């Protein structure tokens, strides 16, 4: 796994479950959290991030065996 993917995975695992989160444009940090898309977008605007990546986290992480 690339270093960037390792960082992204670590960030996603640390994110609150069942929330909307905004990541920095390089996806290296969580810049905002919200209960819905609009709240996350508004909070990310307040952070000053010009191009956030907004996504919904799952209510639980599935266990995947490799």
Res 65 pLDDT > 70: no
* pTM for the model: 0.83
Give the residue extent of every domain in the chain: 3-56
For residues 39-50, average pLDDT: 94
Q: What is the pLDDT of residue 32?
A: 97
Cα gap 15→35, rounded to integer Å: 13
Q: Going by C-beta distance under 8 Å and a sequence separation of 6 or more, which residues neighbour residue 16?
A: 33, 57
């Amino acid at each position: 796994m690339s270093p960037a993917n390792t960082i992204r995975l670590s960030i996603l695992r640390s994110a609150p479950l069942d929330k909307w989160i905004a990541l920095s444009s390089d996806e290296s940090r969580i810049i905002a959290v919200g209960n819905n898309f609009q709240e996350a977008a508004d909070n990310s605007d307040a952070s000053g991030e010009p191009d956030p990546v907004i996504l919904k986290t799952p209510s639980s992480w599935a266990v995947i065996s490799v």
